[in-house]
Amino acid sequence: MIECSCKTQGLQLNEEVIKGKIKELVQGNVEETQNELLDAEAERLTQAAQYECSEQRQGYRNGHYRRNLTTTSGDVTLKVPRLKGVTFETAIIERYRRRESSVEEALMRCTWRECLCGA
Protein backbone atom coordinates (compact mmCIF):
# COMPACT_ATOMS: atom_id res chain seq x y z
CA MET A 1 0.00 0.00 0.00
CA ILE A 2 1.11 3.51 -0.80
CA GLU A 3 -0.03 6.23 1.54
CA CYS A 4 -1.16 9.47 0.01
CA SER A 5 0.27 12.70 1.42
CA CYS A 6 -3.31 13.76 2.33
CA LYS A 7 -3.45 12.21 5.81
CA THR A 8 -6.36 14.40 6.90
CA GLN A 9 -8.65 12.57 4.48
CA GLY A 10 -7.25 9.12 5.36
CA LEU A 11 -6.82 8.18 1.69
CA GLN A 12 -4.80 5.07 0.87
CA LEU A 13 -3.94 3.90 -2.62
CA ASN A 14 -3.36 0.32 -3.68
CA GLU A 15 -0.19 0.23 -5.80
CA GLU A 16 -1.28 -2.82 -7.82
CA VAL A 17 -4.64 -1.27 -8.71
CA ILE A 18 -2.91 1.92 -9.87
CA LYS A 19 -0.39 -0.03 -11.94
CA GLY A 20 -3.20 -2.04 -13.52
CA LYS A 21 -5.18 1.08 -14.45
CA ILE A 22 -2.09 2.78 -15.89
CA LYS A 23 -1.30 -0.38 -17.88
CA GLU A 24 -4.86 -0.37 -19.31
CA LEU A 25 -4.54 3.32 -20.26
CA VAL A 26 -1.18 2.79 -21.93
CA GLN A 27 -2.42 -0.32 -23.75
CA GLY A 28 -5.46 1.56 -25.08
CA ASN A 29 -3.31 4.51 -26.13
CA VAL A 30 -0.78 2.27 -27.88
CA GLU A 31 -3.55 0.45 -29.78
CA GLU A 32 -5.32 3.67 -30.78
CA THR A 33 -2.09 5.39 -31.84
CA GLN A 34 -0.87 2.41 -33.88
CA ASN A 35 -4.21 2.12 -35.69
CA GLU A 36 -4.24 5.86 -36.46
CA LEU A 37 -0.69 5.61 -37.83
CA LEU A 38 -1.68 2.65 -40.03
CA ASP A 39 -4.65 4.63 -41.39
CA ALA A 40 -2.44 7.66 -42.06
CA GLU A 41 0.05 5.47 -43.89
CA ALA A 42 -2.76 3.99 -46.03
CA GLU A 43 -3.94 7.53 -46.86
CA ARG A 44 -0.41 8.51 -47.83
CA LEU A 45 -0.01 5.47 -50.10
CA THR A 46 -3.38 5.92 -51.82
CA GLN A 47 -3.00 9.72 -51.86
CA ALA A 48 -6.58 10.10 -50.67
CA ALA A 49 -8.54 9.79 -47.45
CA GLN A 50 -10.99 6.94 -46.96
CA TYR A 51 -14.11 7.49 -49.17
CA GLU A 52 -12.49 10.55 -50.79
CA CYS A 53 -12.82 11.00 -54.56
CA SER A 54 -9.59 12.43 -55.90
CA GLU A 55 -7.81 12.59 -59.24
CA GLN A 56 -4.49 11.88 -57.47
CA ARG A 57 -5.80 8.64 -55.94
CA GLN A 58 -3.37 5.76 -56.52
CA GLY A 59 -5.34 2.88 -55.02
CA TYR A 60 -8.42 1.93 -53.04
CA ARG A 61 -9.09 0.55 -49.59
CA ASN A 62 -10.44 -2.95 -49.42
CA GLY A 63 -11.27 -3.26 -45.72
CA HIS A 64 -8.70 -4.36 -43.15
CA TYR A 65 -7.50 -7.44 -41.35
CA ARG A 66 -6.84 -7.80 -37.65
CA ARG A 67 -3.40 -8.57 -36.36
CA ASN A 68 -2.37 -9.09 -32.74
CA LEU A 69 0.75 -7.46 -31.41
CA THR A 70 2.14 -8.34 -27.99
CA THR A 71 3.47 -5.37 -26.04
CA THR A 72 4.66 -5.04 -22.47
CA SER A 73 1.26 -3.47 -21.75
CA GLY A 74 -0.55 -6.52 -23.09
CA ASP A 75 -1.94 -7.65 -26.43
CA VAL A 76 -3.24 -4.99 -28.79
CA THR A 77 -5.30 -5.62 -31.91
CA LEU A 78 -4.22 -3.71 -34.96
CA LYS A 79 -6.48 -3.07 -37.95
CA VAL A 80 -4.10 -3.34 -40.90
CA PRO A 81 -5.62 -1.74 -44.02
CA ARG A 82 -6.01 -3.79 -47.20
CA LEU A 83 -5.37 -1.81 -50.35
CA LYS A 84 -6.16 -2.45 -54.01
CA GLY A 85 -3.79 -1.11 -56.63
CA VAL A 86 -1.04 -0.28 -54.13
CA THR A 87 1.13 -2.57 -52.03
CA PHE A 88 0.72 -1.84 -48.33
CA GLU A 89 3.96 -2.44 -46.47
CA THR A 90 3.91 -0.55 -43.23
CA ALA A 91 6.99 1.15 -41.85
CA ILE A 92 5.36 1.15 -38.40
CA ILE A 93 5.60 -2.57 -37.69
CA GLU A 94 8.01 -4.98 -39.29
CA ARG A 95 6.46 -7.74 -41.34
CA TYR A 96 5.82 -10.88 -39.25
CA ARG A 97 6.76 -9.01 -36.07
CA ARG A 98 4.50 -9.95 -33.18
CA ARG A 99 6.23 -8.27 -30.22
CA GLU A 100 7.02 -4.63 -29.50
CA SER A 101 8.19 -3.18 -26.21
CA SER A 102 10.22 0.03 -26.20
CA VAL A 103 7.49 2.68 -26.58
CA GLU A 104 5.10 1.38 -23.93
CA GLU A 105 7.86 0.84 -21.37
CA ALA A 106 8.81 4.51 -21.61
CA LEU A 107 5.16 5.59 -21.40
CA MET A 108 4.56 3.40 -18.34
CA ARG A 109 7.57 4.86 -16.51
CA CYS A 110 6.57 8.46 -17.29
CA THR A 111 2.91 7.97 -16.38
CA TRP A 112 3.69 6.09 -13.15
CA ARG A 113 6.22 8.76 -12.11
CA GLU A 114 3.70 11.56 -12.83
CA CYS A 115 1.01 9.76 -10.85
CA LEU A 116 3.16 9.32 -7.76
CA CYS A 117 5.18 12.54 -7.86
CA GLY A 118 2.67 14.87 -9.45
CA ALA A 119 5.46 16.01 -11.80
Tens of pLDDT, residues 50-87: 888 888 888 888 899 998 888 777 888 999 999 998 88
How confident is the model at residue 1, as a pLDDT? 45
Q: Which domain holds residue 58?
A: 2-6+14-117
How confident is the model at residue 79, as a pLDDT? 93
The pTM of this model reads 0.66
Return mean pLDDT, the chain. Answer: 76
How many domains does the chain divide into?
1
- Could you tell me which residues are beta bridge partners of residue 61? 83
